[in-house]
Amino acid sequence: MERRQFLSTTLAATGVATVAGCSGTDDLDGDDGRFPSRDVPGYAGWVPEAGRGTEADTFFAHLDWTALQELEREDEPRTDDETERLLEEALILGLPMYGGLVAPFAVFGIMFYPFSSDILPEDGREIDGIATDSVTWTENALVFHGTYDPELFVAQYSEGFEQADERGGYTVYVAPEELAYAVSEDAVVVATQPDDDDGYRPEAVVDDALERTLDEADRVVDTDDGRWLFETTGDAAMTFGVWNVEEFDDALEPAEEIDAGDEPRVDLDAGGNPVLDDLEGFVSTLVVSAEDGELLETEARFSGLYPEDSVPAESMIRDHLVGEDVPHEIVLEGNRVHASATFEELPS
């Protein structure tokens, strides 16, 4: 499948006219006034607690296109402007959709790797030994999740690379052209290629990612607040989150730096939204359920952390995050806020 097709598949979720369902699933959504409790998603194991160098904040986005590929479009895709308007009018939808939209753009950062056109097979073409289900983007790295044959990478993609390390089931390859990746049977970790003014080395990016994940240390999920963020939002088709951020606009900077050529591009302008003003960290997810190509349910979830003296009121969350006349649940406790909403009809 081409990168443009992946972007179109992602955009399809923003073009579905109606969805059915009710707020909450499996009695896990805090409808009794308590925070929901879900399994921590696997991608959480790759999100670092701190950024590289002097950067303290962490940005991450996740896209599970196997869930989105089950949807069949019945109408014309929304234009970029229409999608931007949807993202901003229904922010609890817009935040995870933004993550789902920007994650595929990061693939342009690995275009010089020999497997870049195969890790996401084009035009429905299947590559024996590569079956990618989802991708996580964080800290100058893309993590492809699926099923992989490490011997295929040795046979077809190792020219110009040296095997630098083996650990925890991963084999690490590096090249003089500032390229580095690691492959195992269930993941491929790839460092994006730095520009001349970037202050990171791809080999260090891959090494640090493997060290955090294999040692289960120095990750957002290893903190009490971070684990709560992932436990209350769970696994999903689309995810967008930040950690230890001072200003919300700073969370969007990594996506703004991507050079995606003439590909469709959507920006999220949420400036001035009082729910986002004092956020220290959040995870937002969009869960879709489909059967025979028909969307059965769409649930948006948001969990956020605030300074103790800047927690938004429930009415503010309802008005500026969820929207009017939307079935929803909101739970506040201390500096933690959780909201979930199910949409019977997406804003037009």
pLDDT tens digits in sequence order for the chain, 348 residues long: 444 444 454 555 444 433 333 323 333 455 567 999 999 999 999 999 987 654 568 889 999 877 766 555 545 555 556 555 666 677 898 889 888 878 877 888 899 999 998 997 665 677 899 999 999 999 899 999 999 999 999 999 999 999 999 999 999 999 988 899 999 999 999 999 887 777 789 999 999 999 999 999 999 999 999 999 999 999 999 999 999 887 776 666 655 555 545 444 555 656 678 898 889 999 999 998 766 666 667 899 999 999 999 999 999 999 999 877 788 999 999 999 999 998 755 555
Beta strands in 14-161, from DSSP E residues, in sequence order: 58-64, 130-138, 141-148
Tokens of 76: 């014309």
Cα angle value 85/3/179 (rounded, 5°): 115
> CA 335, CA 119: separation in Å to the nearest integer?
41
DSSP string, 125-144: --BTTEEEEEEEEETTEEEE
Q: What is the DSSP letter of 180?
A: E
> CA 239, CA 215: separation in Å to the nearest integer?
24
**Identity of the residue numbered 112:** F
Please identify which residue in the block is written with the tokens 């919300």. 248
> CA 172, CA 180: separation in Å to the nearest integer?
7
Tokens of 248: 């919300």
Instruction: Report which secondary-structure segment, H or E, holds 329.
Output: strand 328-333
